[in-house]
Amino acid sequence: MTRALFIVDVQNDFTEGGALGVDGGDAVATAVTAHLHAHAADYDVIVASRDWHDGEGDNGGHFSATPDFVDSWPVHCVAGTSGADYDPGLDTSSVTHHVKKGQGIPAYSLFEGVTDAGETVADILTAHGVVEVDVTGIATDHCVRASALDAIAHGRRVRILTDLIAGVAPAPSESALAELAHAGAELAVSADDHDGTP
Is residue 16, in this structure, part of any structural domain at all?
yes
42 as an active site residue: the answer is: no
Is residue 67, in this structure, part of any structural domain at all?
yes
Is residue 161, in this structure, part of any structural domain at all?
no
Q: For the chain, 198 residues long, give each residue's pLDDT as a single digit of tens.
A: 799 999 999 999 999 999 999 999 999 999 999 999 999 999 999 999 999 999 999 999 999 999 998 889 999 999 999 999 999 999 999 999 999 999 999 999 999 999 999 999 999 999 999 999 999 999 999 999 999 999 999 999 999 999 999 999 999 999 999 999 999 999 999 976 554 443
Q: Is the peptide bond before 139 cis (omega within 30 degrees of 0)?
A: yes
Is residue 69, in this structure, part of any structural domain at all?
yes
Is residue 120, in this structure, part of any structural domain at all?
yes
77 as an active site residue: the answer is: no
Euclidean distance between CA atoms 80 and 43, whole angstroms: 29
Number of domains making up the chain:
1
Is residue 197, in this structure, part of any structural domain at all?
no
CATH code, 42:
3.40.50.850
Is residue 136, in this structure, part of any structural domain at all?
no
Catalytic residue (one of 87, 100, 134, 143): 143
Is residue 193, in this structure, part of any structural domain at all?
no
Catalytic residue (one of 87, 101, 134, 141): 101
Backbone phi, psi, residue 175, to 5°: -65, -40
* Structural domain harbouring 49: 3-24+37-131+143-155+168-188
Q: Give the global pTM.
A: 0.94
Which strand ranges, in their side-by-side order, compose the sheet holding 157-166? 97-101, 45-51, 3-8, 132-138, 157-166, 186-188
